[in-house]
Chain A
Amino acid sequence: MQVYLPIAEISVNAILLLGLGGVVGFLSGLFGVGGGFLMTPLLIFIGVPPAVAVGTQANQLVGASVSGVLGHWRRRNVDVRLGTVMMIGGAFGTALGVWVFGVLQQVGQIDLAISIMYVLFLGVISSLMLWESVRALLRGRNPAAVRSKLHHHTWLHGLPFKMRFPRSRLYISALLPAGIGFVGGMLVAIMGIGGGFLLVPAMIYLLGMPTALVAGTSLFQIIFTTGIAAFMQATFNQTVDVMLALLLLVGGVVGAQFGSRAGTRLRGEQARALLALMVLAVAVKLLVDLVLRPEDLYSITLPPST
């Protein structure tokens, strides 16, 4: 069943979109990430203009995060105070990101910027995650392994504007969560991803948050950063295709529910190792595309249709 997407201005198979949403939703439910890092490249691959893919993905992630955060909220696994500080940083990051996106688009380097950011962020994070989870898996088999110190004191703890976050039992500089939110917001705007895969490890390792609160809190703030991004992209760039977003959402939320059920059967390190492998595969694919000689050295761009 073909459906014409009015903003993307292409005709796509609705079943294909529902299926894509479902598969990515399943994976995101399984691993507890938004799945934007898979969906945006897939959308571009099936012919959606990159700007529309990124803008629509932001809108879609709002819905996916709302559905995801509900469960965490019921279990009281959301640190609203810390999430709000992250959100404030995220708002600035998003605004800057939307602006940078426009500038890059104008000079014809947006595709390159997206690819390089994907390779860098996805590559580094997934390698670290893989390393950590493989070590954890090995340690699991070898109970005699040494446990590392629980709390390291680093320069991060010397930053000003200290704030108390009772829910997470933290006393840290507000600049830290705000800075993490800022980077996350930029990722939303430029790469069309929620940034969960970056926020989650940052919150665990940089902030030292209790792991139980991390997923819910990061989703909580992703609702707002993706919301701001979707709003700005729709208002200034007119790159949000509601039809596309809804199709992806329907597939996505259903898939995510099954994914999160399947996820309960996976052990934490196993899930992290699998997720790391998947993210690494995307990064490697994009890196190969950057390095290999393209089929046609020339490409064309039309001015944004007004």
Chain B
Amino acid sequence: MSLRSSRPAKAALAGLCALAAGLSLWAGAAAFSREGWAQSLVADLSSHLIAITTGFTGTEVVLFGAVDGLEPPAGGGGGGPGAVAVVVQGPESETTVRRKERVAGIWINTESMTFARVPTFYTVATSMPLDGVVPPSVLQRHEIGLDHLRLVPEGEDTAERVAEFRAALIRNKQRADLYGTETGQVAFLGQRLFRTTIYFPANVPTGLYTVSVFLIRDGDVVSAQTTPLSVSKIGFSASLSDFARRQSFLYAVVGLMLAVASGWIAGIVFRKG
């Protein structure tokens, strides 16, 4: 365990304790008045803000939660509390995929396909393998798993071509560490409590993220909760990029002055040295 990951772990532990205490109270109450399925799942993050500071090198966020555990053991693999899936999606953006072809001996981008609303970041963690247990239509509806992610190209095209470009899009995103290469693990602590660690790399795009938690029983989603997570630049790097965007003219002038000044100073220092 590195220093970096121990802090969220501690926070998570504290959260879990608080949650466990609350849960026992809540479970007692729930035993008397069975409420709708919306109450059968609670989850929260160790932090709702990822601050990108000058020293940012990526970070981990711990998601912890509890399921009611009052349902009788159901299908979906071994009974117990059911399965939990956690889906993290970054802000959406238009993304163009290009394919190279050999033209006159060199490789040139020739064909392209633009996908309208592509999450800039996407990872999934589950408490058990869901493929084959949960019908694809359910996974598709909730976009659980890369195979079920909704990626719609602009304009019409053959299914074959769309599949090809879609796979390429995912592959490129994975290479950039922005899409998970494998399904993460949601660990159950006993029958009710669960936790998972979500890793965000250093190149994580800024914006508003959604962390969706699904409780799956009998091959269907019985409860879901969505928690927002904000990734934003904080402090010096935030002011600098704000400055560059909002007052680009002034920023350009300051940038030039810095360059001239440092060149000038170097010239003078080394003349005497």
**0/1 string, B92-121, CB within 8 A of A gives 1:** 011111111110011111001000000010
**Is B240's CB under 8 angstroms from A235's CB?**
no
**Is A231's CB under 8 angstroms from B256's CB?**
yes
Is A59 part of the contact surface with B, judged by Cβ < 8 Å?
Answer: yes
**Is A112's CB under 8 angstroms from B256's CB?**
no
Using a CB-CB cutoff of 8 Å, which residues 243-296 of chain A contact chain B? 243, 245-246, 249-250, 253-254, 256-257, 290-294, 296
Is B27 part of the contact surface with A, judged by Cβ < 8 Å?
Answer: no
Give the distance in Å from the alpha carbon of A297 to the alpha carbon of B169 in the complex: 11
Give the distance in Å from the alpha carbon of A38 to the alpha carbon of B111 in the complex: 31
Contacts A231-B256, A234-B248; A300 near B237 (Cβ below 8 A): no
Is A158 part of the contact surface with B, judged by Cβ < 8 Å?
Answer: no
Is A242 part of the contact surface with B, judged by Cβ < 8 Å?
Answer: yes
Contact of B259 among A3, A230, A232, A296 (CB under 8 A): A230
**Is B255's CB under 8 angstroms from A230's CB?**
yes
**Is B264's CB under 8 angstroms from A300's CB?**
no
Main secondary structure of the interface of A (DSSP, over half): helix
> Smallest CB-CB separation from B253: which chain A residue?
A231
Q: How many residues of A contact B (CB 8 A)?
A: 58
**Is B264's CB under 8 angstroms from A234's CB?**
no
Is A10 part of the contact surface with B, judged by Cβ < 8 Å?
Answer: yes
Give the distance in Å from the alpha carbon of A235 to the alpha carbon of B246 in the complex: 10
Provide the residues of chain B in CB contact with A111, threshold 8 Å: 109
Tally inter-chain residue pairs, CB-CB below 8 A: 188
**Is B248's CB under 8 angstroms from A238's CB?**
yes
B249 CB, min distance to chain A CBs, angstroms? 6
**Is B172's CB under 8 angstroms from A298's CB?**
yes
Is A11 part of the contact surface with B, judged by Cβ < 8 Å?
Answer: yes
Give the distance in Å from the alpha carbon of A47 to the alpha carbon of B107 in the complex: 21
Give the distance in Å from the alpha carbon of A9 to the alpha carbon of B244 in the complex: 13
Comparing B33-41, B51-59, B208-216, the segment that makes contact with chain A is B51-59
Is B252 part of the contact surface with A, judged by Cβ < 8 Å?
Answer: yes
> Smallest CB-CB separation from B254: which chain A residue?
A242
A192 CB, min distance to chain B CBs, angstroms? 14
> Smallest CB-CB separation from B202: which chain A residue?
A11
Give the distance in Å from the alpha carbon of A68 to the alpha carbon of B251 in the complex: 24
B195 CB, min distance to chain A CBs, angstroms? 27
Is B262 part of the contact surface with A, judged by Cβ < 8 Å?
Answer: yes
B254 CB, min distance to chain A CBs, angstroms? 7
**Is B267's CB under 8 angstroms from A67's CB?**
yes
**Is A59's CB under 8 angstroms from B271's CB?**
no
Is B9 part of the contact surface with A, judged by Cβ < 8 Å?
Answer: no
**Is B202's CB under 8 angstroms from A4's CB?**
yes
Give the distance in Å from the alpha carbon of A70 to the alpha carbon of B267 in the complex: 6
Contacts A2-B55, A290-B106; A301 near B95 (Cβ below 8 A): yes
**Is B168's CB under 8 angstroms from A291's CB?**
no
**0/1 string, B233-273, CB within 8 A of A gives 1:** 10011101100110011011111101111111011101100
Contact of A294 among B107, B169, B173, B249 (CB under 8 A): B107
Q: List 27 A-B contacts (CB under 8 A).
A: A3-B55, A4-B53, A4-B54, A4-B55, A4-B57, A6-B236, A6-B237, A11-B57, A62-B263, A63-B260, A66-B259, A66-B267, A70-B264, A70-B267, A70-B268, A231-B252, A238-B245, A240-B252, A291-B106, A292-B107, A293-B102, A294-B107, A300-B173, A301-B96, A302-B93, A302-B120, A303-B95
Residues of A within 8 A of B (CB): 2-4, 6-7, 9-11, 47, 59-60, 62-68, 70-71, 108-109, 111-112, 116, 227, 230-232, 234-236, 238, 240, 242-243, 245-246, 249-250, 253-254, 256-257, 290-294, 296-303, 306
